[in-house]
Structure 1
Amino acid sequence: MEEETDRRCDGCMLPVSTLFYYCSESECHFYLHKHCAELPRVKRHWFRQSPANLDSRSFTYCDLCLRYCSGFFYEIRGLDVCLRCAEVRDVIEFQGHEHLLFYDFKCRERCNGCGADPGPYGAFRCGKCSFTLDFKCLSLPQSVVHKIDQHQLNLTYHDDNDYSKHLHCDICEVKRDRSLWYYCCSICDTSAHPDCILGEFPFLKYGITLSPRYWHTHRHDVQFHRKAEGYPNCLFCGQRCRREIVKCAESTCNYIAHFECSILVETVLNLPIALEKGREREEELGEELGEELRMLGIEQEKLRIKAREKGAKDLPEVEQADSYQMMEPTQEE
Structure 2
Amino acid sequence: MEEKQLEHFSHEEHPLILCELQKENDDGSIDQKPAVCYGCQEQISDSIAYCCFPCDFFLHKRCAELPPQIRHPMHSQHDLVLLRNPTYFSGGCVCNACGQYPWKFFTYHCSSCDFDLDVSCAILDQREIKLDCHDHPLVQLNRPATFYCHACHKVDEDWSYLCPTCQFWIHRKCASRLTPTVKHKDHDHSLLRAYFLPSEYLYLSFTQYCPVCRKKVHLSDWLYYCGPCRYFVHVTCVVISQEDAGEQVQNAVKLPSSNAVQGLIARFLLKEDEISNSNDSGKSNIEEEIFMDSHGKHPLVLSEKVQNLDEIKSTTSDDQEEAKALLVCDVCIEPICSSDDLHYYACVECGYFVHLTCSNLPPELHVPKHPQHPFSLRYTRNAVGLFRCGACRRATNAACYYCEPCELSICIKCASASMMTSSVKHAGHKKHLLTPFQSSNPCTACGDTYRGGFGFTCEDCHFYVCYDCALLPPTTTQRWDKHPLHLIYPPYFEHLEEFYCMLCKKEINPNHWMYHCRECDYSLHPLCVPQLGLFRCVKFGRSLSVNNHSHPLTHVAEAKYKSFCESCDNKRLDWGPAFECDFCRFYLCLKCAIERELTDDEE
- Does the alignment reach a TM-score above 0.5? yes
Q: Deviations over 1:255-289 (max 9, x none)?
A: 523x5xx49x99xxxxxxxxxxxxxxxxxxxxxxx
Q: Pick from 564, 567, 586: which aligns with 1:233? A: 564
Q: Pick from 402, 417, 428: which aligns with 1:75? A: 402
Q: Provide the C-alpha distance between the structure 1 equivalents of 2:352 and 2:480, rounded to a whole number of angstroms.
A: 28
Aligned to 1:171: 503
Q: Pick from 224, 235, 257: which aligns with 2:555? A: 224
2:541 matches 1:207: yes
Aligned to 1:138: 470
CA RMSD in angstroms, aligned pairs only: 3.4
After TM superposition, the structure 1 stretch with the greater mean CA deviation from structure 2, 218-227 or 33-42, is: 218-227
Q: Provide the C-alpha distance between the structure 2 equivalents of 1:46 and 1:239, rounded to a whole number of angstroms.
A: 43
2:396 matches 1:64: no
| DSSP-derived class of the 1:23 partner | strand
State the shift of 1:13 in Å: 1.3
Q: Pick from 139, 155, 160: which aligns with 2:493? A: 160
Larger Cα-atom Rg: 2
Do the aligned partners of 2:346 and 2:354 also contact (CA within 8 Å) in 1?
Answer: no
Q: Which amino acid aligns with 1:83?
A: I
Do the aligned partners of 1:20 and 1:34 also contact (CA within 8 Å) in 2?
Answer: yes
Unaligned stretches of 5+ residues in structure 2: 1-320, 596-603
Unaligned stretches of 5+ residues in structure 1: 213-217, 267-333
Q: Deviations over 1:10-30 (max 9, x none)?
A: 2211221112324253x4332
| DSSP-derived class of the 1:87 partner | helix
Aligned to 1:40: 362
Superposed, which structure 2 residues align to 1:271-310 within 5 Å? Answer: none
TM value normalised by structure 1: 0.64
Do the aligned partners of 1:22 and 1:29 also contact (CA within 8 Å) in 2?
Answer: no
Aligned to 2:195: none
2:102 matches 1:102: no
Do the aligned partners of 2:366 and 2:375 also contact (CA within 8 Å) in 1?
Answer: yes
| DSSP-derived class of the 2:481 partner | coil
Q: Provide the C-alpha distance between the structure 1 equivalents of 2:519 and 2:582, rounded to a whole number of angstroms.
A: 47
More strand by share: 2
Q: Provide the C-alpha distance between the structure 2 equivalents of 1:137 and 1:211, rounded to a whole number of angstroms.
A: 35
State the shift of 1:66 in Å: 0.4
Q: Deviations over 1:18-57 (max 9, x none)?
A: 12324253x4332222111222222332131243322221
Q: Deviations over 1:76-128 (max 9, x none)?
A: 353211111111126631412132333443x2221111111123345433221
2:341 matches 1:8: no
Q: Provide the C-alpha distance between the structure 2 equivalents of 1:239 and 1:253, rounded to a whole number of angstroms.
A: 15
Q: Which amino acid aligns with 2:378?
A: D
Q: Deviations over 1:131-178 (max 9, x none)?
A: 11122212322322221421222222222343326x111222221111
Q: Provide the C-alpha distance between the structure 1 equivalents of 2:465 and 2:328, rounded to a whole number of angstroms.
A: 26
Q: Provide the C-alpha distance between the structure 2 equivalents of 1:137 and 1:112, rounded to a whole number of angstroms.
A: 9
Q: Provide the C-alpha distance between the structure 2 equivalents of 1:205 and 1:131, rounded to a whole number of angstroms.
A: 32
State the shift of 1:243 in Å: 2.0
More helix by share: 1
Aligned to 1:247: 579
| Distance change in 2, residues 1:30/1:110 (3 Å) | same
